[in-house]
Structures are given as C-alpha cells and as structure tokens.
Structure 1
C-alpha cells in the first residue's frame, strides 16, 4: 500500500471516465467488482464524466459508482476520488459553485464524505485564497477528507501551496497531471516531479496508457479508430510506435501485456503513487492489476526511459 496523506491506496487507480460511456452500468459494475476483488482499492471519477457524450449531462460515472457502492455495501469499500470545475453547467472554482458541485457529487456517489476531491482545472478568475478557503471549509465540515489539483501548472501549484501556508489553510495532497511514456515533459521537465517530492505531494497521473495507445492495440498501418481515435492520433507518431515496440518486446520477455509494462514503468517513477487506468470490459482488468506486483529491473526501466526520451 501507498499513502496519500491519511489515505492508504494500492499503487494503481481505476479510472471511471468510461463508466456510463464505453462501459454501461452492468459492465462497469463487473469491472469494479473485479478490480476490488483483485486487490485494487482506489477509484477515480469526476462530475463532468461523461458530458461529452450526446444526450449526457455529466455525473453519469458518479451515478454508476454510487449505485455500485450501494449494492456492494461496506465490503472492501475503495478510496473514492472525484473532481470539480469542468462541468459544462457548473464550471470554475467559485466557492458558491464548489458547494453546488460538491453536494451533487456526494448525492450521486451516495457518500457523506469524499476521500479525495480534486480541482479539475485552474481558474484564473477566482483568487486562490477564496477557493482554497472553500476546500479548507469542506474538510472542516467533514464533506471531504483531502483535496488535490488536476491540470495545474507547476507555477500555479507552487502558488496554491504558498497561499495555503500563508493563510493557514489546508494544502493539497495530490496532483493529477497527464503523464505516460509518450507524454513526459509536463511532469519531468517543468519541475513538477521535484516539487511533488519536496512537498510530499502524491502524483496520480491520468492517461497513464495514453488513451489506450500504450496497450499495443494500434498499429502503424491503420489510422486509429474508435471513441478515442482523436486523442490517440496525437500519440501515433513513429516515435510513439517505437515506444510501443519496446513495450511489446518487454511484455513478451516478462509474460505480461504491454499495458502492464507501461503502468509498471510509470508506477516506478519518483513521486508517482498510483497511475490511473480505465477498463471498458472486465477482461481488461487483469492486465491492469498485474502492474501492482510487476517490478521492472533497472535495465528495463532505463530501456523504456531511453526509447521515450523524445517525449521528455
């Protein structure tokens, strides 16, 4: 187990962005059961999931997870993280907006207290002290245990930490940036990794498998297809496929899926506590869980680090 402030989590987080989208309610519940029964105990979602789907309004993923929590009861209840500030109707970090969104997330999830509540994106229109004060009040009210920052620049993370310290307010405990073998610079070259280590911030990266690109299911000869095709095209360069080639080779050597190797590399990076990965079917859960136990050798880590250097 690893630690995010007072939370004890396995070193892998199940992403809930697909629940109610590419995984319907029944599939999502089977995925959640398989994940928790297989040793996972950390689930991530957001109030905006999946507002981008025609006919959806946001909150679909939280409702699926909330229904599953109610059905399952207290048996191995996982740590639940959700996020605020990107909902199309309730966007931003104004304190009044945060209260509305928090109440909605707690209702959909069926939780009195949310374990980890992220600011899903920065809001330059609201003074930092105002929204940090709102998160501090949520903690004192018992509505959340901790809060984190997602999609914040290193400079803004530093500012938030300074404001929290100066004002005597609760500070964030986790960061959720995009980070994977084909998207490294945001964390590694910006000083974010060093800041996280120095200030004891847990890094919980999203798109750990680059929207599925690092699973090895795409190839050079065909354009990406499917719900995530637009995102995958961003990674599908010759340099990106060179990384996938090495993942495939290491997977064969180790007897595991390329996705398992990609997650293991990320899990072994400094300050990374639990990469986030999603599954659209129960069959995809086992390769994700295998990354909890897989430890790459120094030579294997270095091989991946070298082949992905173009993205650092």
Structure 2
C-alpha cells in the first residue's frame, strides 16, 4: 500500500503556551483527500480527553464580580495536561458515542480546589498556584508550571469552589477536543497533502494520530458485525442488491470513508451517504449492486478500510 508520512515541522510546547505543532506530509498513489480528512476529524473530536465540565463545578462561595456561570465558562476552557491519559480510555468510545455520558471518577481524576479570600487593599490575581490539586486520590503540585489566571478578586471578595475533571470526546463538547487540525492540498499534486495538528498538550500529536487509527479500526470491527447481522435478519431479499443502510451514532467521519471505498468496489453500481438531520448522529448509506450480495461487498469494504488504517498506524509509529 502506497501511503507515506513525512514530518515537515515538529515543535514542542514551552511553559503553558500552546505553541506545539506537528506538520506532516501525507503522500502516495493510494492517498486521497478522504483518508486525510478522516484522520483530521478523528484526532480533533474522537480521541477521549479529560476536561473540566461546567456541570462538575461546585461553588460554595462566590462574592466576585463574576457570577457562577461566567466563572464556569472560564474554568471549563482550562486545558488539562501533565496527567495520564491511558490507551485503555479507547474502550469507552462506544459508550461515549451512544450515551453522550462523560466519565467522572472522583477518586482518580484531576480535581482543582480553590479557596481564596482577598484580605489586601489591592486586587488579587488568583491563579492556579493558589489552587489545590488532587490526582488519583493524592494532593499534587500544580500541573501548570506557569500559573494560569483564574479570577481577579477585590478586597473582601472570596471564592471557594471545586472543579472535577471528566473524560469524554469532542463530538459532544469542544472542551474534549484533543487538538485542532487542518489539512491542505494542491490541485496540481492530487496525491500530496499537508496535515497540521496542534494538540491541547494532554496527548502528543503522534499519539493522537495513532489512537485515531485504532479508533477507526475498532469501529469497523464493531459496525461490520452489526450491519451484517441486521442484513441476515432481513426477510426482503431485494435489499441484498439495492437498499438503504441506517447507521446510528455515526457521522460524516465514518460515512465519508466507508461510502467512498464502498463505491470503489467493482460490483457496486452506486453508493453514497447523507445525513438527513444535522442534529441527529445518524447516517444513511444508499447502495445498488450489479447483482452480487451486498454482504460480501460490505465485508470486503471493511477489510480494505481496516487495512488502510492499520498501514497508516504502522507508518505513524515509525515517525
């Protein structure tokens, strides 16, 4: 398979600044825009990430000029890094996609506790250095080497609150996005792409790419079994040659790559997907074969897509 990766630029972050960056050239005769865009979407919003959700913030005292909702909006955008984000978090992907429920583990997740009263005449800058952090049940030093400003308090003002981190994916809330990612290409060079990734520093860019590949491979294994089982239960034999697949809890990330390679199969006369309602996580795939059983074609398509991303994963691991 001819899909190659080459690092064009790699920059590690310094202090608390999100100036980390990874630029990769993706090329080869088997490379295309659908593959690169699928990678981009996966690293952005499908890799599980820890963040502070506003529903997991408890305010006991707040006499600042900012109400609780304003402070929640600020605190929820504080990035979390210098903690462990184990690969086994990928085991929760299906649950995240189907239930939208985040995972809150008070015994092990990062907790930020703020208890500060300004007793001085001047305005106090309350930072992460003034907070107490707990991780895996133990008090730790601040994970932020350069302090982040939390709130400004005037004389006599007080803030006492607790923020508990949770695990989820960016599809449901952008605070769980693992990175920002873009990709570019030149019409004159149809098989050469540049992929730029800026991680939120919880996971490095290469690790995000590796996990993105594994997520799609796992998804293919699960959906292949589900789709084939449903087709085997179908009493109308006409659907084996022409029909409509409804796949819930999926969006354009899977729909685009699967329908593209389904259309590439020689026994397919037509295949395409659409999203009927943007507010529903559901895709429809229409197909028509030349008479061959759609189940066999779907199996070949899943095998091909999995082979592509297993190859990509191996290439990225070598970077």
TM-score range, shorter chain: under 0.3
User: More relative contact order in 1 or in 2 (CA 8 Å, sep 6+)?
Assistant: 2
Normalising by the residue count of structure 1, what TM-score does the alignment of the two structures yield?
0.22
Which structure has the highest strand share of the two?
A: 2
**Structure with max Cα Rg:** 2
Which structure has the highest helix share of the two?
A: 1
Normalising by the residue count of structure 2, what TM-score does the alignment of the two structures yield?
0.22
